[in-house]
Amino acid sequence: MSSATSVIPASSSPRSSLGTVVGIVLLIALALVPLLASTDPFVVTLFSRILVFAIAAVSLNLILGYGGLVSFGHALYLGLGVYSASILSFHGIDNGWIQLLVTLVVCCLIGLLTGAIVLRTTGIAFIMITLAFAQMFYFLFVSLSQYGGDDGMRLASGSKFSGIDLAQANTLYWVAFVILCVSLYGTQG
């Protein structure tokens, strides 16, 4: 005799439901930040940075959680994107669409070059070579004294996307918030 057991799908398990509720509550709280801190631009800027790092965490979840690839060099592409936009801004190009295009091209080219080597390895070698590439590019950018060297680089002016000026703290916050929400939704199974 076999007894029938009910199997609860992973998407409706209590743990999954709790995680979904907590995630929604956090997103609602994040949506309230600019409204509650409208007189304090520091708080809005701080939470904008938190949102950008949350987007990076979602992308890390994509490669690690779904792809099963442990990469210590993941920040390389965040740095490439920031430096691509910053160097263009330093030279007077503040059109966000051009900055985005250049950033995508640079990250794709570096991804193809490093991926051709990295994806031939497995296990600890994969982890260490991703870290090695990240460190090589870190030291490359640190050595560029024209672009800030050890002190890093600041955007000379905010990116402008067809009337959307990311130099405004609230605008940057809402753009990052929307991208985070879309990223979270897109990575859900």
Amino acid at 166: L
> Which amino acid is located at 125 in the chain?
A
61-116 residue pLDDT tens: 888 888 888 888 888 999 999 999 999 999 999 899 999 999 999 999 999 999 99
> Tokens 């979840």 label which residue?
61
Are 150 and 25 a contacting pair, CB within 8 Å? no
Query: Looking at residue 9, what is its pLDDT?
Result: 52
Phi and psi angles of residue 161, each rounded to the nearest 5 degrees, phi first: -115, 95
Q: Answer whether 84's CB lies under 8 Å from 90's CB.
A: no
- CB count within 10 Å of CB 66 equals 10
Q: What is the pLDDT of residue 11?
A: 52
Q: Per residue in 14-62, pLDDT tens?
A: 556 887 888 899 999 999 999 998 888 899 999 999 999 999 999 888 8
Higher pLDDT: 156 or 10? It is 156
Helix (H, G, I), strand (E, B) or coil at 144: coil
Structure confidence at residue 154 as a pLDDT band (50, 70, 90): confident
For the chain, give the longest Cα–Cα distance: 77
What residues does each domain of the chain span?
39-186
And the tokens for 15? 């743990």
pLDDT above 70: residue 160? yes
Give the Cα separation of 9 and 19 in Å (integer): 15
